[in-house]
Structure 1
Amino acid sequence: MNQIKITLALFLLGFSFCVNAQESGEYIEFNDRKNTVHGVYMGLATYYGKMHKKDTYAAGFKVAYVANQQFEVGLEAVGLYSDINRLGISDNDNDLVGAYGGIHLEPILFSKSILNLSFPLLIGGGAIGILEGDIDDYVVEDDSWEAVFVLEPGINLLFNINRYVQLEAGVKHRFSSRLSFDDFPLSRIDGFSAGIGVKIGVFNMGRNRYKKSGL
């Protein structure tokens, strides 16, 4: 089985080299480092969802390394806001805010096509707080903050504009550890959300170009 895999890999490598050599005019293109294409990027995204039937907004930032356009690993940070009020008590003006971050993992399918399908996963933690009062006069007490662990899987559709820019759109579900606020009946921040984002970087920096005359 290993011999078959090695033979197939060598065949694909040779085929790719021949195709690139035929299509290029002045240059021959090939991938170095055992045909692995490396990439890095920074990404921004915004999400909208529901938490206990209340509007919830989130913004995310991530930096990641992309291995062979098939798997991402990096770091991600998310800011969260929800006008949650006191879960049904309308005479109390309370907002939920929070921030969490951790490891970002994302396997990618159909990576050689313009459209890709991916399955991002965030594993990390942060803090959730309850803001009490009017927007111009918030009061934040020490016991209004709780540490939280977050697991956030999702599914994305990726659109490759070019070698440097990629758009994403998808949905995800946030699972959290249990919270225990003293005066607020909120046990978790679980919920679905949908959003869009952009990634900017170099997604195939392993590609090199050499003039024919230099060979």
Structure 2
Amino acid sequence: MLIAQETEPDYIEFNDRKNTVHGVYLGLSLHYGTIDKADTFISSLKVAYVANQQFEIGFVGTGFYTDLNQLGTDNPNKDLVGFYGGLHLEPIFFGKSKFNLSIPLLIGGGAAGLLNEDVFDDVTVEDDEWKGVFVFEPGVNLLYNINRYIQLEAGVKYRMSSNLSFRPEYSLNNINGFSVGIGVKLGVFNMGRNRYKQKI
């Protein structure tokens, strides 16, 4: 008898592509917190590279405004403004899921100054009133992946800074404080996906 077709293939089919994905994004976040018990409003802009949906590294810039008027300071026409930025590091847990948990960390520096507002509503910050400051800011975020291009985040962070002083006008020693906020990240979070895998 003749066999017209072999039942067992004489070759091996395999997929040797590694399931490694990469991503880049631009993020914007808004936070509310306190500095010296005064309401503080914070906004941040971030650009980062995402390695295999497990770790982010990039740069972040942050600006803040603190309403000192509510504290009843000697000069009610002054508020605190500032900016800081630096290296952004963020380990990510459960990166393959819709919801992720992450621990963002900012290491950098910036400056803070007293905002002068006169009776004519002119707003200025004198050059000699800027104080340099080092900032270390860890946090915890909950991330939600809408799709491979959009990610939402919500979390809390604590800002620790080096000492600064505006005496005698304002007895502020640092810009330490908690803040909570939300943000959005726009980019591509899983470039180079393995097409042989259904879920990445």
Alignment match, 1:109: 93
SS in 2 for 1:112: coil
More helix by share: 1
Decide which of 88, 98, 110 is 2:82's aligned counterpart: 98
SS in 2 for 1:149: strand
Task: State whether residues 86 and 184 of structure 1, in contact with CA within 8 Å, keep that contact through their aligned partners in structure 2.
Answer: no
The Cα of 1:90 is off from its aligned counterpart by 5.9
Decide which of 31, 38, 48 is 1:47's aligned counterpart: 31
Answer with 1 or 2: which has the greater Rg: 2
Decide which of 203, 211, 215 is 2:189's aligned counterpart: 203
Task: State whether residues 39 and 203 of structure 1, in contact with CA within 8 Å, keep that contact through their aligned partners in structure 2.
Answer: yes
Counterpart code for 2:63 = G
Identity of aligned residues (%): 64
Alignment match, 1:58: 42
Alignment match, 2:11: none
SS in 1 for 2:28: strand
**2:178 is the counterpart of 1:192:** yes
CA distance in 1, matches of 2:75, 2:133: 27
CA distance in 2, matches of 1:204, 1:51: 38
The 4+ residue runs of structure 1 with deviation greater than 3 A are 85-88
**2:110 is the counterpart of 1:151:** no
Which deviations, in whole Å up to 9, do the C-alpha atoms of 1:143-184 show, x marking residues without a partner? Answer: 211001000100000000001000000000000000022432
CA distance in 2, matches of 1:87, 1:186: 12
The Cα of 1:91 is off from its aligned counterpart by 5.2
* Residues 93, 194 of structure 1: alpha-carbon distance in 2 compared, 3 angstrom cutoff: same
Alignment RMSD (CA, Å)? 2.0
Task: State whether residues 79 and 99 of structure 1, in contact with CA within 8 Å, keep that contact through their aligned partners in structure 2.
Answer: yes
Q: Which range moves more in the overlay, 103-112 or 177-186?
A: 177-186
Counterpart code for 2:175 = I
Alignment match, 1:176: 161
CA distance in 1, matches of 2:91, 2:145: 16
SS in 2 for 1:143: helix
CA distance in 1, matches of 2:70, 2:134: 22
The size of the alignment, in residue pairs, is 181
CA distance in 2, matches of 1:87, 1:179: 19
Which deviations, in whole Å up to 9, do the C-alpha atoms of 1:94-139 show, x marking residues without a partner? Answer: 1111111000000001111110000000000011010122482224
The Cα of 1:88 is off from its aligned counterpart by 3.4
Task: State whether residues 19 and 194 of structure 2, in contact with CA within 8 Å, keep that contact through their aligned partners in structure 1.
Answer: no
Alignment match, 2:112: 128
SS in 2 for 1:179: coil
The Cα of 1:87 is off from its aligned counterpart by 4.6
SS in 2 for 1:201: strand
Counterpart code for 2:152 = L
CA distance in 2, matches of 1:90, 1:37: 56
CA distance in 2, matches of 1:66, 1:171: 21
Decide which of 14, 31, 51 is 1:67's aligned counterpart: 51
The Cα of 1:208 is off from its aligned counterpart by 5.1
Alignment match, 1:4: none
